[in-house]
Each structure stands twice: as C-alpha cells, then as structure tokens.
Structure 1
Amino acid sequence: MEIKYSTDKIPTADQVIELYDNAGLPRPTNDKERIQKMLNNSDLIVTAWHNDLLVGVSRSITDWVWCCYLSDLAIRGEYQKEGVGRKLINLTKEKVGEQSMVLLLSVPTAMEYYPKVGFVKQESSFIMHRAEWK
C-alpha cells in the first residue's frame, strides 16, 4: 500500500468530515461551513492519500518562527498503527522548521500516543473552553 503525502493537495470539507468521523475525532462535523472555515484559516495542512482516498490529515496554525499549533491530527481507522500519523507530524515539523516548536491539545484517547512520537507532556498549559457546537 503506497501512501502519498502532500502539502499542496487540500482536501474538501466533505473529505475532512468523512475522515474525522471515521477517525473518531470530536469536531463539529455536522457543520460543513465551520469545517470549511477551519480549513481556510489553517496555515499548514499536510495530507496523506491512498490513491484518491484521504487517509490522514495534520492541520496547523503557525507563525513559522516560534510556534506551530497542531490543531488536528486524524488518521482513518484502518490506516492507524501504520506510521501515517508519525509521518504527518514529521512533515509538519519539517515544514515549520527548527525555530518553531510544535504543540497541541490531545483528545483523551490519544494521551499515550503523543509521547511515542516525540512530544513531551507539559503541565503548564491553560484553556478557555469554547461554546459547544450544536
């Protein structure tokens, strides 16, 4: 199985919605307009494709010189544990460069995954929660 990675091939909102739902990523997938805005306002989107099927995405917001917030990492269920997530993270880090840190907020089910791919758990973060989507 050959997976192709790209920073130029931007998926449609429908493709991302289907991927997020398949991967179990808690995002407002019932709101296509909001998902489209999430894509439009991202600074870096790295995708993984098996032929024409979107199998993974790393979506980030960054200033390119200090920090990169990896806001979404989603891998299609049947492609998990194949190194796709690690590759998307590595390509994200490569693209933002050595001066920039990569940080994220993890969903509870991925807390054990991120240390395995090079992230260091921090105890110094804060969050103001958004209003829940409907």
Structure 2
Amino acid sequence: MDSINYTDDKNLVNYDEVAELYESVGFGKASDYKGDARYRATLSQPGTYAFFALDSNNHLLGMLRAFSDDRICTWVADICVQPQWQRQGIGAHLMGMLEKRFGHTAIYVSALSGSEDFFEKQGVKRASKLIACARRGGDGLS
C-alpha cells in the first residue's frame, strides 16, 4: 500500500485531479470543472477550508471541503475519496483533521443517503430538529 500524506496545503493539489475526483464519486463531469476559473477559486474563498489525502507522488486520493466562520459553526460541503481507496480510513482521517481544526465549533453535515453511518462513526450524529433542503434539482442530490 502506498503511503498516504494528509495536508491542508492547497498548493500541493492539482485542480484537474479535484475535478476527476468529483466525477469519480458522481459529483458531475470533470469537464464541467476543468478550465473554469470560478471552480478553481472555490478552494481559495474566505471561510473555505480543505483537507487532502495524497499518495507518495502527490496524486489526490481524497478531500474534504468545509465552510466555517471559525467561531460558531463549520459545515462540511463535501467529502470524497477515490472509489478504489474507499473503506481504507481516508475519509475518517480527513474528518479527524476537520475535528482537530474546528472542534471548537458545531460541525454540520448534509449527508447523502447511505452515508449517515459513516458520519455517525465520526461522531456527527443525526439531529432530529434539522432537515436538509436543496434548491437545485436534477443532479441526484434532491
């Protein structure tokens, strides 16, 4: 097994690999992201944080993107791991990095159906008074 390096250094990440990662987990087509300056800027916006899992050649294996005010709340926007690397602890490690950095805030997740157990294992429990809502349809998320 290759060694896995974990980092929050966005300069180590190839944005085309992020686009390919998104496609590999069903978050659209890589071609929709590649070459789009707005997409590249999403990881650099104030209040946007990201944690990455890279192999020994700095190829992207997984990532977690979150929004936080660093005081009250943190929201996991997405967490994705290349399918062939899933169930090997990468997602749990990325969640651990988030917890270490933002454990002083409330952490919220809008989980896709079927992933709730993963988040519960990471200490993020279902909240009976919260419901996830979406405006955009047709992308499999609503």
TM-score scaled by length of structure 2 = 0.80
Whether 1:114 and 2:119 are equivalent positions in the alignment is yes
CA RMSD in angstroms comes to 2.2
Residues 64-120 of structure 1 deviation map (CA, whole Å, 9 limit, x = unaligned): 121110101001111111110000001011112x42121110111312221122211
**Sequence identity percentage:** 21
Question: Where has structure 1 moved over 4 Å in runs of 4 or more?
Answer: 27-30
Distance 1:103 1:27, change over 3 A: farther
State how far apart, in whole Å, the 1-side matches of 2:116 and 2:84 are: 20
Residue 48 of structure 1 aligns to a residue whose secondary structure is: strand
Residue 40 of structure 1 aligns to a residue whose secondary structure is: coil
Q: Which residue of structure 2 lines up, in the alignment, with residue 9 of structure 1?
A: 10
Q: Which residue of structure 2 lines up, in the alignment, with residue 21 of structure 1?
A: 23
- How many residue pairs align between the two structures? 132
Distance 1:95 1:60, change over 3 A: same
Distance 1:30 1:125, change over 3 A: farther
Alignment of structure 1 residues 76-91 onto 2, 5 Å: 76-91=82-97
Residue 112 of structure 1 aligns to a residue whose secondary structure is: helix
Any gaps of 5 or more consecutive residues in structure 1? none
Q: Is the 8 A contact 1:28 1:133 kept in 2?
A: no
Residue 78 of structure 2 aligns to a residue whose secondary structure is: strand
> Which residue among 86, 106, 110 is the counterpart of 1:101?
106
State how far apart, in whole Å, the 1-side matches of 2:84 and 2:49 are: 25
Q: Is the 8 A contact 1:17 1:35 kept in 2?
A: no
Q: Is the 8 A contact 2:17 2:60 kept in 1?
A: yes
Q: Which residue of structure 2 lines up, in the alignment, with residue 39 of structure 1?
A: 43
TM-score scaled by length of structure 1 = 0.84
Whether 1:57 and 2:63 are equivalent positions in the alignment is yes
Distance 1:127 1:112, change over 3 A: closer
Amino acid at match of 2:3: E
